[in-house]
Amino acid sequence: MYMYSASDSLIADETLLQKKSVKFSDQNIGFKFVMADTTEIKNHVSQKRPVLAKSLMDSSEPEPSSRVLVIYTGGTIGMKTNDNGVYEPKEDFLVNKLRTLPMFHDREYANTHFAGDEEDFLVMPHQKGRRVMYKIMEYKPLLDSSNMMMTDWGHIATDLFEHYDQFDGFVVLHGTDTMAYTASALSFMCENLGKTIILTGSQIPIFEVRSDGRDNFLSSLIMAGLYNIPEVLVCFDNKILRGSRTIKNDAGSFSAFISPNLPPIATLEIRIHVDWSAVFRATGTEKFRVHTNMCQNVGLLRMFPGITTQTVRAFLQPPMQGVVLQTYGAGNAPDNRPDLLNVLKEASNIGVVIINITQCTKGCVMTSYATGKALEDAGVICGGDMTPEAALTKLSYVLSKETWTLDKKRKFMKRNLRGEMTVVAKENITILDFELIESVARALSVSSTEEIKKLRDALYPSLMCAAAQTGDNQALEKLRTLGGNLSSHNHDGRTALHVACREGHVTTVQYLLHQGASVHLKDSNGITPLQDAVMGKHHSIIRLLVKTGAILTIKPIVLAMELCCAAATEEIETLQAYRAAGANMNECDYDKRTPLHVAVDTGSKRSVHFLLDSGVSWMFEDMFGNTALDCARKRNATEIIEMIEQKERQLAANGENGT
Ligand SMILES: NC(=O)C[C@H](N)C(=O)O
């Protein structure tokens, strides 16, 4: 395919070159550099414009790929037996071994296609026509998870934050012993999450003959790379569980984790099935951020018959700020022990936050018994069906919010923040309520619930895209209440958000973001909602998406081509749209020519003016050694030279320079 280069218009196009008479040579690169007439170049670039739209969708990589960051913290998965015959993590062992295994690294593909920073990446054989490229960040020292502290959660969260924009998804390799704690903690620490984070590990090291590690790791890479489930998840034994619902249940089984109060979010069998209706999505228009300073003055207290008041009092002593009380059955503690209840009440009165959860693996705290009601009266907060790990880490997170009042902290402990607790039973919606599906089902003689469900899954995404196209929020809301997933995509991978962004329906975009639609989803051509908004030049939507954390993901070279073309043809609105989307307006093309070079060479004064106003530099040298200012001088473009010099004077007056 033809790829545009801004300087093609000056150098490579024979028809233009041969007609010109003013010539000079650039000895360094051996090109015969011919000055073309500005209008002619402009026309030439305009003709090439349609090719650009296509090039935007093409990738210079041979196969579309997703990038996953693997944060390797330790655990059995990468361990080796030491001289004493016990398992121990070993530096660099995992990554070096993985490079030799074809399932984990397609060496031939990497040797042919990877260069520069990509050399650190491993690449999986392709899945569903896509490659998952992944990079392993190994922690030093690698830890058995029993040695992990709350500060280690902070390190992981910080690394997730720092690499959030560069990767499509994340895998955390972790020991199984405290994985449920880390997964729960990370789910609270990661605020406004829009990408998939999966924790996994194994019961037997990955390089032993019998190991669960290979499947767990491969499944996690596939899910993090190819599916957008914007949650912190645990992948184990072919199941994807919500991190904050998970507990380690079996020390000796490959099926070590369970999620007692919530079915798996996905199952990996012959087919991968994701229950999209169960996916928890952050709502609103705020960017991803992490909260790392967790409160350490929290504890878990398990009731047992005859527990003494002294034990409970000692446990609740300062500096304790929050306690998870594990009670019997549906949240009961003795109501014939006023001594005990008084201690709890006193602690609660002086500001200790006490949460009531059940000791049972499954089920939830209710106040249907007098024994449970007594605790509520003592100021103990109902923790619903939270796991001990989720309740403890939620408490640690909520208590560390320095700007929140105690009242707010108590309120937030009762709220479902990340899908960690069941607040209300799901409405019993039947898809047959929706007349359209019903009549289509009739016409197709479809009657079983399973078939109707499949029909709904096939029709809803298209209906949602159609509603988004006309900005029909009511229709979207109706589809949602009928059980539709607003982030589902049509045959082209396009979601309602893509469509609304392209069409410029700002209230629809707002509605979708508040319903948890992800700004990071790419359609089958790799286009994100932000790219759609840029193509539609919808400035308020661009601002809203950027505020929500969207970033431009198009390749720098493609961006350069777009900007150079817009600069050459004075499409100021396009330049404005890219600038608002956070594009680097100095991005240079194959010949290292910036949009300003092209604007100068095409005599596009409005573009020059806009670019200078956007703070671009006129001092970058292209491959031929010319800065944009050199180009203006060679062309004797006095007005443009004056514009640049004026900008230079303006910057100098402010103590800055234009380089
Ligand atoms: N299977 C494992 O990973 C157990 C190990 N002790 C750990 O938690 O790090």
Residues 496-514, mean pLDDT to the nearest whole number: 96
Residue of 352 and 653 predicted with greater confidence: 352
pLDDT at position 215 over 80? yes
Per CATH, the number for 65-290 is 3.40.50.1170
Residue with tokens 């062992």: 93
Q: In CATH, what class is 298-414?
A: alpha beta
CA dist 478 to 434, 473, 484, 506, 509, Å?
9, 9, 9, 19, 16
Testing ligand 1's pocket by substitution, the residue of 87, 143, 144 carrying the most ligand atoms inside 8 A of its CB is 144
Cα–ligand 1 centroid distance for 291 (angstroms): 26
Determine the pLDDT at residue 11: 38
Q: How many CB atoms lie within 10 A of CB 517?
A: 27
pLDDT at position 436 over 90? no
- Residue 589, exposed/middle/buried by CB under 10 A (0-12, 13-18, 19+)? buried
Residues 6+ apart with CB under 8 A from 138: 72, 91, 92, 94, 95
Q: How far apart are CA 474 and CA 497, in angstroms?
A: 15
Residues 6+ apart with CB under 8 A from 153: 182, 185, 186, 189, 292, 294
CB 505 within 8 A of CB 471: yes
Cα–ligand 1 centroid distance for 177 (angstroms): 5
Which atom of ligand 1 is closest in space to residue 144's alpha carbon?
9
Q: Which of 213-222, 505-514, 520-529 is predicted least confidently?
A: 520-529
Determine the pLDDT at residue 38: 64
Residue of 492 and 538 predicted with greater confidence: 538
Identify the CATH assignment for 6-59+555-653 out of 1.25.40.20, 3.30.565.10, 1.10.287.3510, 1.10.3720.10. Answer: 1.25.40.20
Pairing, β 247-248 against β 257-258: antiparallel
Architecture of domain 431-547: Alpha Horseshoe (1.25)
Cα–ligand 1 centroid distance for 40 (angstroms): 68
- What are 403-426's pLDDT values in tens digits? 999 999 999 999 999 999 997 544
Residue of 184 and 434 predicted with greater confidence: 184
Average pLDDT, the chain: 87
Determine the pLDDT at residue 58: 45
Please enumerate, by residue number, every residue annotated as part of a binding site for substrate: 145, 176-177
**Helix, strand or coil, per DSSP, at residue 381:** strand
**Helix, strand or coil, per DSSP, at residue 256:** coil
Determine the pLDDT at residue 161: 98
Which atom of ligand 1 is closest in space to residue 256's alpha carbon?
1
Cα–ligand 1 centroid distance for 173 (angstroms): 11
- What are 102-155's pLDDT values in tens digits? 999 999 999 888 877 777 899 999 877 789 999 999 999 999 999 999 999 999
Cα–ligand 1 centroid distance for 307 (angstroms): 32
Using H for helix, E for strand and C for coil, what is the string for 610-641?
A: HHHHCCCCCCCCCCCCCCHHHHHHHCCCHHHH
- What are 447-458's pLDDT values in tens digits? 677 777 777 788
Q: What are the residue ranges of CATH 3.40.50.40 in the chain?
A: 298-414
Determine the pLDDT at residue 24: 31
Please enumerate, by residue number, every residue annotated as part of a binding site: 145, 176-177
Q: How far apart are CA 535 and CA 49, in angstroms?
A: 13
Q: How far apart are CA 12 and CA 18, in angstroms?
A: 11
Cα–ligand 1 centroid distance for 88 (angstroms): 10
Residues 6+ apart with CB under 8 A from 154: 189, 292, 293, 294
Please give the share of the chain, as a percent, with pLDDT higher than 90: 69
Q: How far apart are CA 347 and CA 344, in angstroms?
A: 5
CA dist 429 to 118, 178, 425, 426, Å?
48, 38, 12, 8
pLDDT at position 54 over 50? no
Determine the pLDDT at residue 118: 74
**Helix, strand or coil, per DSSP, at residue 415:** coil
Testing ligand 1's pocket by substitution, the residue of 73, 86, 87, 146 carrying the most ligand atoms inside 8 A of its CB is 146
Q: How far apart are CA 341 and CA 377, in angstroms?
A: 9
Of 209, 217, 87, whose CA–CA distance to 146 is shortest?
87
Q: Which two tokens stand for residue 511?
A: 């509605």
What predicted TM-score, i.e. pTM, was given to this entire model? 0.77
Testing ligand 1's pocket by substitution, the residue of 80, 145, 152, 257 carrying the most ligand atoms inside 8 A of its CB is 145
Q: Which helix (H) or strand (E) holds 233?
A: strand 232-236
Which atom of ligand 1 is closest in space to residue 202's alpha carbon?
1
Q: Which helix (H) or strand (E) holds 440?
A: helix 435-443
Residue 332 amino acid letter: N
Assign 3-state DSSP to the chain and report helix, strand, coil percentages, each to 5. Answer: 45, 15, 40
CB 263 within 8 A of CB 242: no
234 pLDDT band, cuts 50/70/90, is very high
Determine the pLDDT at residue 137: 98
Cα–ligand 1 centroid distance for 116 (angstroms): 35
Determine the pLDDT at residue 451: 74
Q: DSSP string spanning 20-62?
A: ---EEEETTTTEEEEPPPHHHHHHHHHHHHHHHHHHHH--SSS
- What are 307-317's pLDDT values in tens digits? 999 999 999 99
Nearest CA to ligand 1 atom 7: 175
Residues 6+ apart with CB under 8 A from 12: 5
Which atom of ligand 1 is closest in space to residue 146's alpha carbon?
8
- Residue 388, exposed/middle/buried by CB under 10 A (0-12, 13-18, 19+)? buried
Half-sphere exposure of 270 (CA within 13 A, CB side): 0
Nearest CA to ligand 1 atom 3: 175
Residues 488-496, mean pLDDT to the nearest whole number: 91
Cα–ligand 1 centroid distance for 74 (angstroms): 8
**Helix, strand or coil, per DSSP, at residue 569:** coil
**Residues with a CB atom less than 6 Å from ligand 1:** 74-76, 144-146, 175-177, 201, 203
Which atom of ligand 1 is closest in space to residue 75's alpha carbon?
9
Q: What number is the ipTM of this complex? A: 0.98
Q: Which two tokens stand for residue 202?
A: 């194994």
Residue of 276 and 176 predicted with greater confidence: 176
**Helix, strand or coil, per DSSP, at residue 563:** helix
Residues 6+ apart with CB under 8 A from 367: 331, 373, 376, 382
Cα–ligand 1 centroid distance for 16 (angstroms): 68
Query: What are the catalytic residues?
Result: 76, 176
Q: What are the residue ranges of CATH 1.25.40.20 in the chain?
A: 6-59+555-653, 431-547
Determine the pLDDT at residue 176: 98
Which atom of ligand 1 is closest in space to residue 178's alpha carbon?
8
Testing ligand 1's pocket by substitution, the residue of 87, 177, 204 carrying the most ligand atoms inside 8 A of its CB is 177
- What are 595-645's pLDDT values in tens digits? 999 999 999 999 999 999 999 999 999 999 999 999 999 999 999 999 999
pLDDT at position 53 over 70? no
Determine the pLDDT at residue 136: 97
Which atom of ligand 1 is closest in space to residue 76's alpha carbon?
3
pLDDT at position 386 over 50? yes
Bridge partners of 273, per DSSP, are 267
